Amino acid sequence: MAEQPLAGRRAMVTGAGSGIGAAIAARLVADGAEVTCVDVNADAVRAVADQVGGTPLVVDLSDQAAVADMAIDTDILVSNAGIQHVAPIDEFPLDRFDLIMRLMVHTPFQLVRSALPGMYERGFGRVVHISSAHGLRASLHKSAYVMAKHATEGLSKVTALEGAGRGVTSNCVNPGYVRTPLVQKQVVDQAAAHGMSETEALEKVILARAAIKELIDPEDIAAAVAFVVSPSASMMTGASLSLDGGWTAT
């Protein structure tokens, strides 16, 4: 029987209806955790939960009242839910800016705030934020997303300081471009916009700043999360773990 380092632990993964979140949920279940899969898309999150052996929870995480009503009693919190909107600052729609701030700044704070008392009481907790290379760098026309990811980095570090000595760690995992339907659509769109092949668009546009010109598999992000919440990472806290093909090395 495969080793299950998270046996007996409870985990909550937001944005678990697809992509990175679904891969993380699957990995944590495989490592022995009881996983609650949270997403706004009811059909998607129920399908993922059924597939991986988790428990679905349908919540609109941009609704602050709905988030406040969540009963969060978990050993491991993986904050992954997020959206993107691309526009210059002077053209950025305020309603989209507000939505991104609610979903990607206010909600992670509220989730951590709700989870910490139980973690402190048990003397164990693992908080993981799926940040981004954009939590460490900036890109044109992504002001709200970059702001939100930089805020995530700050929240994680403060949580790490406050949780020190109480069995709670907090870390960020910082992917570059991950192989998801959303990113693959960007490749197609950029190829059409620049009149080049999809391979050229991937290497010369999407991954222009990365040393390794390949998309990251969601399972690789899940493996990083599995390490961060494992017993082997008990001294890792306040860190930002980059998986970006060398993007942030430039």
Question: What gap in Å lies between CA 108 and CA 50, rounded to an integer?
Answer: 25
> Do 245 and 210 meet the contact criterion of CB atoms below 8 Å apart?
yes
Residues in the chain: 250
Q: Which of 145, 146, 163, 180 is catalytic?
A: 145
Active site residue 177: no
Q: Which residues contact 174 (CB under 8 A, 6 or more apart)?
A: 131, 132, 133, 135, 136, 240, 241, 242, 243, 244, 248
Q: How far is CA 226 from CA 22, 34, 246, in A?
A: 13, 14, 21
> Do 66 and 60 meet the contact criterion of CB atoms below 8 Å apart?
yes
Strand residues in the chain grouped as ranges (E): 10-14, 34-39, 55-58, 76-79, 125-130, 168-175, 240-243
Enzyme catalytic residues: 145
